Structure 1
Amino acid sequence: MNPRELLLNSFQAALAAADPLKIIPTHLPSPPEGKTLVVGAGKAAAAMAQAVEAHWPAKANLEGIVITRYGHGLPTQKIAVIEAGHPLPDQHGELTTRAILARVQTLNANDLLLGLFSGGGSSLLSLPITGVSVGELKDITRQLLLCGASIQEINTVRKHLSAVLGGRLAAACRAPIHCLIISDVTGDEPTHIASGPCAPDPTTYADALAVIKHYAVHASSHVMNILQNKSQHNEEETPKPGDPIFKNVKNCVIATAHQSLTAAEHFFRMHHITPLMLGDTVTGEAREVAKVYAAMAKEIRHYGKPFKPPVALISGGETTVTVKGHGRGGRNTEFLLSLAIALDGLKEIYALACDTDGIDGTEQNAGAIFTPDSLTRAHQFGLNPNPLLNNNNAYTFFEQLNDLLITGPTRTNVNDYRVVLIL
C-alpha cells in the first residue's frame, strides 16, 4: 500500500469509528409509556435520526424534528430533517428551532425527549433571546469564527444569545430527557457540544461579555446593552450545574475523537507502522502547531527518536486560525502548508489533515494531503508558499497541486484528524 493510500485508509478507519448508523443502536433508551419526541441539531443529525428510525420499536410512538447543514440531509419517515445555515445561522434555523421549542413544551411526564446532538448544532439551533435578531447573531458569529477564539469561548457567547442553548431547551421540557451526543470538542463535555441544549452551563453573561471584549468583537450597542443589563442584574441566566431541572436529564457522549484516533492507531499497527498517539486535545494556531509536528518528524527521520521509522504521528483536537489575510483555506490546509514550509522537502514524510465532518473552514474540502515533493511541485506552478500562508490561502496551494481531499458530507463530526507519516 503506497503512502497516499495509507493516509486515506487511516482516515476512513477514523470516520467508521464515528458512524452514527453503527454506534446509535447500542445506545438507544427504552420507549416511554407516552410518545417519544426526537429533536436534534448538527452535521450528524440526519444520520443519527435515520439510525433511530431504523432501530426504534415499530409499535412505539415516534416523531420529531432535527436540523442539519445544507446538503447534509437524508431520507426519513417519522423524523423531519430540515436543512439550515452553518457555520452562520439563518432564518431556516430560527424558524425550525422555534418549532422544536414549541413541540418540546407540549411534552409531559409520560413522554420522552430524545436529543440527537453533534458538532454544528450551535449555529443550526439559531433562536436568539428576545431583543436580538438572527442578523445580529450572524454578525457576531462571523466575527468570532475569524478572530481565533476557541470553540468554548465562541459557545459561551452563543449560549447567552440563545433561547435554547446552554441548558435552556431542557428547562423548557417537562418530560424525561435522554441525549445522544457525538463530540467535536476537546474534553468531550456535553456543555460545549452544540452548546449544550440540555446540559448545565457553568458560564455567565459576564463571561460572554469578557469574550466579546477580549477579541474586540463589534456587537451593536443594542446587543451589548442587553448583555450588560442581564449580567448586572443576573437576569435569565442559563441553568447551572446542580439545577433541579436536570434531575431527569441524561447526556450520553457516544462518539469522540479519541475513539476515532484509536481506530486509526489500530489501522497503522495492522500495517506494521508504529503509531504515536499525540492525543485528541491539540489546540493552538494551526501554523504554530505544524511547526511542532515538523520538529518531531525531523527527530524521528534523522535520529530514530523516540521511535525508528516507520512512524505515524496521530492527533485530533481543534486548532484555530486567526484570519488576517483574504485567501481561501481552513485550519487543516493551513496546518499542512505550514508543515510543508517547515519540512522544506525532507524526504519520506507524508501527511493528511482533515475535518471529520468533511468541511475544512468554509470550503468544500475536508482537508488535504501533503507529500515530500509538495514544495517542488508548487514551484513548478509558480506558487510561493510563504505569501500564500500569510494570506490564509492554503486552499489555493493544495488545489493547484490537486491534493485537496473532497469527501462530501460525512454526516459525523468528531473534530480534526491529523496524521504525519514518517517512512
Structure 2
Amino acid sequence: MTLLIDLFQAGVDAVGGRQATARSLQQFPLPDRIHLVALGKAADSMAAGALSVLGDKLVSGLLVTKHDHLSEEVRQDGRIECHEAGHPVPDAASLAGGRRLFEFVNTIPADELLVFLVSGGTSALVEHLNEGLDLADLKRDTDQLLASGAAIGEMNRHRRTLSQIKGGKLASRVNCKVLQLLISDVPGDKPGDIGSGLLVPDEATGMGPELPVWERIDTHIIASSGIAQKAVADAAIERGLTVRQATGNLDGDMPDVVERLAAVLKDPDLAPGVYIWGGEPTLVLPKSPGRGGRNQHLALALSEVISQTQAVSILVCGTDGTDGPTGDAGGMVDNETFEKARQAGLDIADYLARADAGNCLQKLDALVTTGPTGTNVMDLAIALVGGGDKS
C-alpha cells in the first residue's frame, strides 16, 4: 500500500506551509521593514517560507506553534520570538502566547507591514481570555466541545465569546497594514472560521466589516483541502492510474461519513481506480476515550465496509500528520484487515465504541505515522480499487 502513502504525500506537498507561503509572498510588493506573526500547527513551515522571501527585510516576529513542532532553523533566528503551546486542549503556554500576540501587534509602527500567517490549530494555541476567566475554564470548555463532536466552525464560534482576540477583536490592536495569509483547515474555507478569525470581520463580536481597520488588512487563502485533493488526483494520473472520483466530502458526523463512503465503496458496479475525499468528520467521544483520532476511527470503521469487496485499500490521514491527541496521522486498511482482526481475536466494534481505534490499528500494523507535515488542510481519504486500473 506504499502507493497510497505516495499519493497522500503528493497532496500534502502541494499545500506545504513553506512552499505556499513563499509562493504567495513573491506575488506582492514588499516594503523594507516587515514584521511577522506565524500561528498554528504549520507556523514553523510558514515562517520558514516567509524567511526565504523576506530576508533582511524582517525586523521582528512572533511564532506560536504546537509542542514539538518547532525547527531549529526558525528557533535560531534571533528576530523571531518562539512559543510552543498545547493542542488540541489549550495549556498555560496558550495563554502566554495569546498575551504576547495581544501585545506584539500593538507595537508595530503604522508605516510598517505585518505579515500575519495563520494555520490550523491556532484556536487552541493562542488565547487571551476575557476578564474573569482562567485556564481551568478554557480547558473545561474545550474538553466539552471535543467530546460533543462539535464541528470546527461551531467550536470556533463558541471560542470567540470567551476571548479578547478572536472574532476579529485582535484587529482593534493593529495600527499598521497587514498582509494575512491563511492555510484553511475548515469546511468551506471561510476566513472567519480559520483560527477563530483573529483578523477577520465579525458582526457578532462588534467587529463588523464597516470598521476602518479592515481597510488596512488584506487577506488571502493560500492552501486548502481542494488544492490537496487536486494534487492527489494529478499524482495518480501521472502514475498511469484512473481517477474515478477526484473530490469527495468527509465533513459531517462520523456515522454519516462512514455511510457516505460505504455507498461508494460497496457499490456492486464500483470501477477500478482511485477515489478521493477531503474534509473533517466529527466524532462524539465516550467519557473515557482510548487511543486514536477521527482518522484512525474512520479507517477502522471502513475495514468492515470493504471486507466483502475485492482488492480495495484505503488510507485516512490528517494532513498535519497528527490525528487527535496522538503522534499518528491516521490509518490504512484493506479488504483483508477485518478478517485479520477477527482471527486475532480483536473485536473492531468494541474498539470503535470505546474510541480506541489506535490500539486496534497498532495491533494490525495499520497505523500511518508521518510526523508533523508543516501544513493542515483537514483530512484526506484515498481509496485504491483493483490496483487503480493502472495502464
TM-score (norm 1): 0.86
Candidates 8, 17, 24, aligned match of 2:21: 24
1:31 Cα offset (Å)? 3.3
Structure 1 residues 52 and 7: CA distance shift in structure 2, 3 A? same
Residue 228 of structure 1 corresponds to which residue in structure 2? none
Matched, 1:372 2:335: yes
SS of the aligned residue for 1:192 comes to: helix
User: Distance in 1 between the 2:236 and 2:336 partners?
Assistant: 23
Whether the 8 Å contact between 2:18 and 2:47 is mirrored in structure 1 is no
User: Distance in 2 between the 1:36 and 1:134 partners?
Assistant: 33
Matched, 1:292 2:255: no
Residue 416 of structure 1 corresponds to which residue in structure 2? 379
Whether the 8 Å contact between 2:180 and 2:218 is mirrored in structure 1 is yes
User: Distance in 2 between the 1:285 and 1:419 partners?
Assistant: 19
User: Distance in 2 between the 1:74 and 1:57 partners?
Assistant: 18
- 1:159-198 aligned at under 5 Å gives the runs 159-198=160-199
User: Distance in 2 between the 1:55 and 1:185 partners?
Assistant: 27
1:280 Cα offset (Å)? 5.9
User: Relative to structure 2, which stretch is displaced further, 169-178 or 240-249?
Assistant: 240-249
Matched, 1:68 2:65: yes
Residue 398 of structure 1 corresponds to which residue in structure 2? 361
Matched, 1:103 2:104: yes
1:61 Cα offset (Å)? 4.3
Candidates 279, 285, 309, aligned match of 1:323: 285
Whether the 8 Å contact between 1:284 and 1:319 is mirrored in structure 2 is yes
**Once superposed, what is the RMSD of the aligned Cα atoms?**
1.6
Structure 1 residues 238 and 401: CA distance shift in structure 2, 3 A? farther
- 1:127-166 aligned at under 5 Å gives the runs 127-166=128-167
Percent identity of the aligned residues? 32
1:197 Cα offset (Å)? 0.8
Residue 43 of structure 2 corresponds to which residue in structure 1? 45
User: Distance in 1 between the 2:248 and 2:127 partners?
Assistant: 28
1:116 Cα offset (Å)? 0.8
Whether the 8 Å contact between 2:160 and 2:167 is mirrored in structure 1 is yes
Whether the 8 Å contact between 1:291 and 1:338 is mirrored in structure 2 is no
- 1:10-21 aligned at under 5 Å gives the runs 10-21=7-18
- Alignment length, in residue pairs? 379
User: Distance in 1 between the 2:245 and 2:207 partners?
Assistant: 37
Matched, 1:271 2:239: yes
Whether the 8 Å contact between 1:66 and 1:81 is mirrored in structure 2 is yes
Whether the 8 Å contact between 1:125 and 1:165 is mirrored in structure 2 is no
Candidates 195, 217, 220, aligned match of 1:249: 217
Whether the 8 Å contact between 1:261 and 1:417 is mirrored in structure 2 is yes
Which amino acid counterpart does residue 197 of structure 2 have in structure 1?
A: G
User: Distance in 2 between the 1:295 and 1:103 partners?
Assistant: 50
Residue 200 of structure 2 corresponds to which residue in structure 1? 199
4+ residue segments displaced more than 6 Å: none
User: Distance in 1 between the 2:278 and 2:310 partners?
Assistant: 24
Whether the 8 Å contact between 1:160 and 1:238 is mirrored in structure 2 is no
SS of the aligned residue for 1:388 comes to: helix
Whether the 8 Å contact between 2:292 and 2:324 is mirrored in structure 1 is yes
User: Distance in 1 between the 2:226 and 2:365 partners?
Assistant: 30
Whether the 8 Å contact between 2:168 and 2:201 is mirrored in structure 1 is yes
Which amino acid counterpart does residue 207 of structure 2 have in structure 1?
A: P
Residue 351 of structure 2 corresponds to which residue in structure 1? 388
CA deviation string 1:262-312 (max 9, x = no partner):
00001111233222346465311224312221221222xx324xxx31x21
Which amino acid counterpart does residue 32 of structure 1 have in structure 2?
A: P
Residue 346 of structure 1 corresponds to which residue in structure 2? 309
User: Relative to structure 2, which stretch is displaced further, 343-352 or 357-366?
Assistant: 343-352
Whether the 8 Å contact between 2:307 and 2:336 is mirrored in structure 1 is no
User: Distance in 1 between the 2:249 and 2:302 partners?
Assistant: 19
Which amino acid counterpart does residue 13 of structure 1 have in structure 2?
A: A
1:238 Cα offset (Å)? 4.2
Which amino acid counterpart does residue 165 of structure 2 have in structure 1?
A: V
Whether the 8 Å contact between 1:345 and 1:376 is mirrored in structure 2 is no
Q: Which runs of 5+ in 1 are unaligned?
A: 205-236
Which amino acid counterpart does residue 6 of structure 1 have in structure 2?
A: L
SS of the aligned residue for 2:295 comes to: helix
SS of the aligned residue for 1:56 comes to: helix
User: Distance in 2 between the 1:153 and 1:10 partners?
Assistant: 31
Q: Which runs of 5+ in 2 are unaligned?
A: 387-391
Whether the 8 Å contact between 2:102 and 2:128 is mirrored in structure 1 is no
Which amino acid counterpart does residue 337 of structure 2 have in structure 1?
A: S
CA deviation string 1:324-349 (max 9, x = no partner):
26322211111112211223342211
